[in-house]
Structure formats: structure tokens, C-alpha cells
Amino acid sequence: MTPINTEESPREQAVLSCQALNKTYTEGPQKVQVLANINFEIFSGDRLAIIGSSGSGKTTLLNMLGGLDLPTSGSVKLAGKDYAQLNQKQRGQLRNQHLGFVYQFHHLLAEFSALENAAMPLLIAGKSMKQAKAQALELLKKVNMEKRAEHKPAELSGGERQRVALARALVTNPSCVLLDEPTGNLDQQTAAQVQALIRELAENSGTAFVIVTHDIELAEQQNRVLRLDQGQLLAV
């Protein structure tokens, strides 16, 4: 494998892009480079899988893509805006408008219903409860969870909780959704249903998906697969 540098002529503005991205941490007297010269772009409707072994830098890269951490050098841009040029509040606003997150562990709030959990990003953005719940219900319908809208997470199966988490990530109509091991806790049938849903949403709504996963089968079903190896992004 060889390092990739996907500086192709853009067919449109990239939803998410990295340019010469480097991340180095200082541990005592030593400097440890976790990411080295990462370059790639993600466009509307893309489904990109990033695979790699533990310690390869996947979590660090995901944090960079989400603006949760800033690079040592280089840039990460979401909707054309460089995270490093924004303050913390502005980064939060940009994420809320353009980005969704789905984690391996759903991180749903136990005391709230599926509908309330899915509506939460809209409430944070300042929408009224009535409007937020109406929009959230539409997303629950898309993930076939409207009949479970009033159930709390403890009353849902693992696959159902992950569907609610996906609805929550999509409720603000984001440009891109970052998924961290989205099928890691699901059985094979439920994982296949989640993958089919990701494909449908990418094709029908133009949402871009970045999936960080150990699941080779899931990765191979996306339209691009890259591998992180010792901080470098490689073509598969």
C-alpha cells in the first residue's frame, strides 16, 4: 500500500476536507505523531469507510473531523470553514448545523423517550418543542422507529437504539454524519439493516457518511475505503 493524496478536481465544494493534516502529542520529552499528512475530501452522498487497527489513529482522526480537537498543522474544513479559524462556540454552531455523530454506544439519554432523544439537537439549536418533536418524528419514520417513539432506551433493543441514534444524528439535516463503529454491538441482521439505511439516506438525501470501523464487511459496502496505518491514510 502507498499513501494517498486525493487532490482531485472538485466537482463541487467538499462537505468535509483535510489538507496536510498532522497531529502530534507531547508525552514528556517525546513527541508522538499520530496523524501524518492526511489529505482527502468528502462530497455530498459519499460513503467513506476508514479502517485500521487499534492505535492506528482512527479515534484521533474522528475527533479532528468533528472539530473536537484541532490539528498541530494543516486544516480540517466543514462546509468550507476551517475549524481552526473558529472559536469554540462557533465550532459548536457549525457542528450543530452541518454534522451528525453516531457512536458505537448509542449515548441516548435514559430518562427521555426515543422521540425526545431524536429531537434534542433541534432543541439545542433553539427550535420549539412542538417543531422539534414534529421533525424528529419524521426522522423516526425514516428509520422505521415511529411506533417506538414514546419508548425509553431501556425498552428498546440494541438495533432500535442505534436507529434512534441515527435519527438524532440526521434530524438537523446535516451535510455529513460521522459514525464510530456503528454496527459494533449489533447482530448480523441488524447490522445489515443499518447499512441498508445508510445507503438509502446517502442516495436519497445526499448526506455524506464517514464510517470508522473494524468491520471489513461493512467497510466494503461503502463506495470508498481507506486504511489508517501508523498515522498515514492509505488506499485499499
| pLDDT exceeds 90 at position 166 | no
pLDDT for 209 = 93
**pLDDT value, residue 117:** 92
Per the structure, the complete domain to which residue 206 belongs is given by: 16-235
Average pLDDT (191-202) is 81
* Interval 103-139: pLDDT, tens: 766 678 889 999 999 998 888 878 899 989 998 998 8
Q: In what order do the strands lie in the sheet with 208-212?
A: 99-102, 176-180, 208-212, 47-51, 224-229, 232-235
* Residues 6 or more apart whose Cβ sits within 8 Å of residue 28: none
Q: What is the pLDDT of residue 106?
A: 65
Between 53 and 112, name the one with better pLDDT.
112
Judge whether 45 lies within some domain. Answer: yes
Instruction: Give the side-chain half-sphere CA count within 13 A for 204.
Output: 8
Q: Which residues contact 52 (CB under 8 A, 6 or more apart)?
A: 58, 227, 228, 229
Give a yes or no: residue 98 inside a domain: yes
- Each residue's pLDDT tens digit, 55-70: 777 888 888 999 888 8
- Segment 41-60 shows an average pLDDT of 86
pTM score: 0.82
For residue 136 the three cell numbers come to: 424528529
172 within domain boundaries? yes
Q: Is residue 11 part of a domain?
A: no
Residue 6 counted as domain residue: no
In this structure, of 12-26, 120-134, 176-190, the range with the lowest mean pLDDT score is 176-190
CA contacts within 13 A on the Cβ side of 31:
7
Number of separate domains in the chain: 1
**Does residue 2 carry a pLDDT above 60?**
no
Q: What is the full DSSP assignment across 66-101?
A: TTSS--SEEEEEETTEEGGGS-HHHHHHHHHHHEEE
Residue 53: phi and psi, rounded to 5, are -75, 170
Rounded mean pLDDT, 41-49: 91
CATH number of the domain that residue 33 is part of = 3.40.50.300
* Domain assignment of residue 230, yes or no: yes
Residue 76 within a domain: yes
Indicate whether 62 belongs to any domain: yes
